[in-house]
């Protein structure tokens, strides 16, 4: 369903339905309660709501899943952000002695926004995205996911589409949640390669020897570079973009290439020439000449908003929050289907609300049975809610969150280890 079918004006009518019948509260609570391992972990978590007319309410907190549900159904937030786990209940932060209310823990989070790539994408700018530049998000996820797992040993990474033009990563491992501000900064700095603002021409500078992490990242970029940068972004096809690339190579190489490009029009062959010249240089000079690698990284390496990652108390948009502008739900991304993930396929709130109204075969009888059963109201409501999201395009994303949570639960119980031992016996 195209985004044009969503009308932002309909949001006030759709949100009550969404929070009453579709929002996956039980999975959401299961996630943020982290197995109840630490006392008051859920209770001391900050939520903030953006309400109609941009009214922003910070320091919301809830004792139980039920309280969270009731409050969200009452407030119908346009946007939900998740903050830190504090020393005290955030909704009582005014009542504790000043200086004692402190952010203690939070998932390590990453925020990647397509607008930060505006100088290296030619297809769109600002808030716009298309299937061509979405490749940048795919590359970012591949690079960061590998590094966070292999280089840092994290295992529980929840990748989430922001609902508009970017992705978020929630690293949920206990060790990640307990990281200090200094440690978070160190991780964010380790993962940052593209440096400098608009005035900086050469934003990636490699030195000898190239760090193994950068080599691994280059392997990912190489996989996408030809199709993405040469074919789709045409970085070596028109004068303006060629000038931008040539600003990143040494003077003599630039001259050579300009001459070569007068007769050679094929972007692959042009890139081949550039690579060959880099190789010659590397053989001739002792000092590192990695301009072709620098270009690949400058055009494709993930651009992180490091401030989001550094702070423990920094808020980040919650999964399953609605994006008010596009109406799209902020859904978790299953990395097994990353290559085919299409942000334009992500359901909008209007679509899933409409799907609820579609009649289903055999549904009338089912509902009649329910009335007959005379169960207590809450049970019926609870069971209906489970079925409700399953009847919509939201189902597969909730199912994926369930699998993610199962993975965390297994690792708490040490079952992963036991299972891997069992598997060895087969």
Question: Which token pair is 19?
Answer: 């929070």
Which residue, 208 or 339, is less far from Zn ion as judged by CB?
339
Segment near Zn ion (CB under 5 A), from 127-135, 158-166, 249-257, 265-273? 127-135
The alpha carbon of 70 is separated from its chain's Cα centroid by a whole number of angstroms, namely: 28
Segment near Zn ion (CB under 5 A), from 33-41, 80-88, 120-128, 251-259? 120-128
User: Rounded to the nearest whole angstrom, what is the least distance from the CB of residue 273 to Zn ion in the complex?
Assistant: 27
Per the residue annotation, which of 81, 105, 107, 111 is the catalytic one?
111
Question: Which token pair is 125?
Answer: 């700018």
Residue 347 gets which letter from DSSP? P
User: Rounded to the nearest whole angstrom, what is the least distance from the CB of residue 203 to Zn ion in the complex?
Assistant: 20
Determine, following the binding rule CB under 5 A, whether residue 123 of this chain makes contact with Zn ion: yes
Which one, of 19, 127, 169, lies nearest residue 79 by Cα?
Answer: 19
Per the residue annotation, which of 46, 81, 355, 388 is the catalytic one?
46
User: Rounded to the nearest whole angstrom, what is the least distance from the CB of residue 134 to Zn ion in the complex?
Assistant: 7
User: Rounded to the nearest whole angstrom, what is the least distance from the CB of residue 239 to Zn ion in the complex?
Assistant: 21
CA separation, residue 411 to residues 6, 154, 405, 415 (Å): 40, 12, 10, 6
Does 364 qualify as catalytic in the annotation?
no
At residue 158's C-alpha, the angle toward residues 152 and 232, to 5°, is 90
Given a contact cutoff of 8 angstroms between Cβ atoms, the answer to whether 74 and 102 are in contact is: no
The 3 state secondary structure assigned to 11-46 is HHHHHHHHHHHHCCHHHHHHHHHHHHCCCCCCCCEE
Query: Total binding residues for Zn ion by CB under 5 A?
Result: 5
Determine, following the binding rule CB under 5 A, whether residue 214 of this chain makes contact with Zn ion: no
Does 111 qualify as catalytic in the annotation?
yes
Q: CA-CA distance, 312 to 318, in Å (whole number)?
A: 15
Which one, of 339, 132, 138, lies nearest residue 229 by Cα?
Answer: 132
Which residue, 133 or 187, is less far from Zn ion as judged by CB?
133
Which residue, 106 or 121, is less far from Zn ion as judged by CB?
121
CA separation, residue 232 to residues 134, 220, 265 (Å): 11, 17, 15
Per the residue annotation, which of 113, 232, 292, 294 is the catalytic one?
113
Which residue, 112 or 133, is less far from Zn ion as judged by CB?
133
Segment near Zn ion (CB under 5 A), from 9-17, 47-55, 117-125, 262-270? 117-125
Segment near Zn ion (CB under 5 A), from 126-134, 150-158, 228-236, 376-384? 126-134
User: Rounded to the nearest whole angstrom, what is the least distance from the CB of residue 118 to Zn ion in the complex?
Assistant: 10
Does 7 qualify as catalytic in the annotation?
no
For residue 317, the cross-strand partners are 81
H or E element, residue 48: strand 45-51
Out of 124, 183, 206, 381, name the contact with Zn ion by CB under 5 A.
124
Out of 130, 206, 214, 381, name the contact with Zn ion by CB under 5 A.
130
User: Rounded to the nearest whole angstrom, what is the least distance from the CB of residue 298 to Zn ion in the complex?
Assistant: 18
Q: If you write DSSP's letter for every residue of 165-181 in order, what string do you get?
A: SEEEEEE--HHHHT--H
User: Rounded to the nearest whole angstrom, what is the least distance from the CB of residue 234 to Zn ion in the complex?
Assistant: 12
Q: What is the SS3 assignment for 284?
A: helix
Determine, following the binding rule CB under 5 A, whether residue 133 of this chain makes contact with Zn ion: yes
Which residue, 53 or 339, is less far from Zn ion as judged by CB?
339
Catalytic residues, which ones? 46, 111, 113
Residues that bind Zn ion (CB under 5 A): 123-124, 130, 132-133
């Amino acid at each position: 369903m195209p985004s044009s079918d969503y009308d932002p004006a309909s949001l006030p009518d759709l949100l009550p339905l969404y929070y009453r019948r579709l929002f996956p509260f039980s999975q959401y609570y299961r996630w943020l309660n982290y197995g109840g391992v630490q006392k008051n972990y859920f209770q001391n978590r900050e939520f903030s709501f953006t309400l109609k007319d941009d009214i922003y309410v910070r320091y919301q907190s809830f004792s139980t899943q039920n309280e969270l549900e009731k409050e969200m159904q009452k407030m119908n937030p346009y946007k939900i952000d998740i903050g830190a786990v504090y020393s005290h209940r955030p909704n009582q932060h005014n009542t504790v002695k000043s200086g004692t209310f402190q952010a203690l823990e939070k998932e390590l989070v990453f925020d990647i926004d397509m607008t930060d790539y505006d100088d290296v994408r030619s297809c769109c700018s600002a808030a716009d995205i298309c299937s061509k530049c979405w490749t940048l998000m795919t590359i970012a996820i591949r690079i960061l996911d590998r590094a966070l797992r292999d280089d840092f040993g994290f295992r529980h990474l929840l990748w989430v589409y922001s609902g508009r033009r970017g992705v978020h990563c929630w690293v949920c491992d206990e060790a990640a949640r307990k990281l200090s501000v200094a440690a978070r900064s160190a991780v964010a700095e380790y993962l940052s390669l593209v440096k400098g603002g608009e005035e900086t021409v050469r934003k990636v500078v490699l030195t000898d020897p190239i760090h193994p992490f950068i080599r691994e990242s280059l392997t990912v970029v190489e996989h996408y570079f030809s199709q993405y940068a040469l074919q789709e972004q045409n970085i070596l096809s028109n004068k303006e973009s060629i000038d931008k690339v040539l600003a990143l190579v040494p003077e003599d190489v630039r001259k050579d290439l300009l001459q070569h490009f007068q007769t050679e029009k094929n972007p692959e062959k042009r890139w081949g020439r550039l690579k060959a010249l880099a190789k010659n240089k590397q053989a001739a000079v002792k000092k590192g000449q990695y301009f072709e690698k620098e270009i690949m990284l400058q055009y494709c390496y993930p651009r992180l908003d490091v401030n989001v990652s550094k702070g423990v108390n920094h808020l980040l948009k919650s999964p399953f929050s609605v994006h008010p502008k596009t109406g799209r739900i902020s859904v978790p991304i299953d990395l097994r289907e990353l290559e085919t993930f299409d942000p334009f396929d992500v359901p909008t709130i209007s679509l899933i609300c409409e799907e609820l109204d579609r009649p289903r075969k055999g549904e009338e009888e089912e509902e009649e049975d329910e009335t007959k059963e005379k169960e207590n109201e809450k049970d019926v409501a609870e069971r209906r809610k489970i079925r409700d999201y399953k009847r919509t395009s939201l189902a597969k994303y909730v199912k994926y969150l369930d699998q993610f949570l199962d993975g965390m639960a297994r690792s708490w119980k040490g079952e992963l280890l036991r299972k891997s031992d069992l598997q060895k016996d087969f």
